[in-house]
Each structure stands twice: as structure tokens, then as C-alpha cells.
A = this chain, B = another copy of it.
Amino acid sequence: MKLSQLGEEALVARLTHGLPRNEGLLVGPGDDCAVAGRRNAPFWTLLKTDCVIEGIHFTPETGFARVGWKALARNVSDIAAMGGLPEHALVTVAFPGDLAVAKAEALYAGLARCAGEFGISLAGGETARSPGPVFVSVALTGRVERGRCVLRSGGKPGDVLFVTGTLGGSIAGKHLDFMPRVQEARWLTEHFRLHAMMDLSDGLGADLPRLARASGCGFELNGALPLTPGCSHEAGLSDGEDFELLFAASPRQAARIEQSWPFATLPLTRVGLLTANTPPSTLHGFDHFASPPRDA
């Protein structure tokens, strides 16, 4: 059987089944980041890797400084989704020999700009030759206070579901220039006890079922999503690469969060509830759960 027949979710499930662990690993594959450390230590270490590939995540015409920003910012978004702060990045790049040196430098300028924005050190890397496309893989460490680490799996029936920002239309440019929600997640975990959180990378329609399933819950969506202007409800669910936060909090905490939300230019929207229903049986996206009307 070929990978294309199996599908990504099934492949990942096969590949990550029964992997070696050690006593320092608190949370393994399946959440936004892995969590490592001693269980009762004041801080835990967060670990994440991600990649961007020419022809898949960007085109040869994309400005390479934006590619560099995106390659690191995707990982920063995952650290944020755990409630943590990013620390050290490792960068692996594979370049074809005929790439212009200026493009490689622009990529690094974008990586450095993102690192500077979030106080990250570019601690090391590897530069290899690619026989094909440009490939950029970034690994990022972070740290989070034990009491502020938020997993996907802590949601409870009745929890209010929030998203930050607007959904859909990322391909028009935001997917390259997005601002990871570190500041917002840090504020949330400083003042509130969130039950579950993740970042929206594949679209709410694919990611919300993942959070619900990890929490052993079902979910309901409200009619109205915070859509990027010009986007349909369906686009808001399925475009992906929003890199916004999705989180679950008790109704009581939810009301307090809304009252004190201090980020005037960033919308915070209730999009639904976790329920006691059977968790969604599939993770393949918005077409597998009851869609509200398109023009809601």
C-alpha cells in the first residue's frame, strides 16, 4: 500500500504506535508539543518540530524572509498553545546547489526576525544539499510553569470553546506573516485555569474534533464563527493555517475571561461547547460533523 492511499492521520497513528519512551517524557506525540521534565519540577520543557517544504508550504516565488518567519513561527504557535514561552531553536535546511546565496540569507533573516520577536536563540543547525526542493525543518524548545501547562485533553462537558482572531482566508498572506499568540496564551494561563488548548493549524473543522476527542467529549458549534472578511463559513472551518488559539474553559471562567480580555485589536469569540456526547469517531475534518448553515 502507498502512503497516499493510507492518509496522514492513519499513517501517523501507525508510525507513533508504541514508540520508545523514557521516564523524563511526561507527554509524548499527539499534543501540540511534547512535555519533558520531572513531574514535580517547577518548570517543564516543551519540545516541538515542524517543517516547510518548497512546492508544499510555499512556492519558489514566495519571499524567503517570509518563509523563514513561517518556519519558526509555526513552532512558536505550538509552544504558545501549551501556555509556554519559546527558548531555543535548531534549524535544518536543505538547499539545491543552484539556489542564490541571497535567498538563503533572506530565509535566515526571516528566522532571525521571528527569533528576535520572541526572545528565542537560534542555537544551532545543519545545512545540507537538496537534490530537489528547499526544505526547512525547525525544532524548538520552550518552558512552561508546571501549573500553567495546558494540554488538549483536559476539556470537560459544558466547557465553553473560544477562538482568538478570525478564521479562514489565510492563504491570502496570513499563513506567511501570522503572529503566534504567545502573549495572549501567557495572559490566559497567568489569570485563568484553562481546561484545554491547541493552535489552529488545519482549520477549526479538523482541529476541534481533535481537541474534543483528546478530552473524551463531543462538541457543538454556535452558528456564527469569527470569519475573516470575505470568507464563507466553510472557508473558516477548512482553509487552515489560521494559527489562532482554540481553548476550553468552564462557563464561570469563560465569563471572566470575556470581561477582562485586554487585547483590544484581537477578537475573542465563543464558538461552541464541549458536550458529553460520544467523541467524534473521525478526525478528517469539517465534513464529518454537522455543519451549521453556510451563511450563518
Interface residues of A (CB under 8 A from B): 1-4, 6, 8, 11-12, 14-16, 18-22, 24-25, 28-29, 33-34, 36, 45, 47-51, 53-57, 87-88, 90-92, 94-102, 104-105, 108, 112, 115-116, 119-133, 135, 137, 139, 141
Contact = CB atoms under 8 A, between A and B. Distances in A.
A6 B100 CA distance: 10
A48 B186 CA distance: 28
A14 B132 contact: no
Contact of A122 (B6, B20, B87, B124): B20
B11 A101 contact: yes
Given A25-B123, A36-B88, A53-B128, A98 B20 contact: no
A138 to B, nearest CB: 9
B132 A20 contact: no
Contacts of A87: 22, 24, 36
Nearest to A100: B2
A97 B137 contact: no
A138 B100 CA distance: 26
Contacts of A51: 92, 94, 126, 128, 137
Given A99-B2, A123-B28, A127-B15, A115 B33 contact: no
Contacts of A18: 112
Contacts of A122: 16, 19-21, 28-29
25 contacts: A1-B102, A2-B100, A11-B127, A14-B105, A19-B112, A19-B115, A21-B122, A22-B88, A29-B122, A34-B121, A36-B87, A36-B123, A45-B141, A47-B124, A49-B92, A53-B129, A53-B131, A55-B132, A56-B130, A56-B131, A92-B92, A130-B132, A130-B133, A135-B137, A137-B139
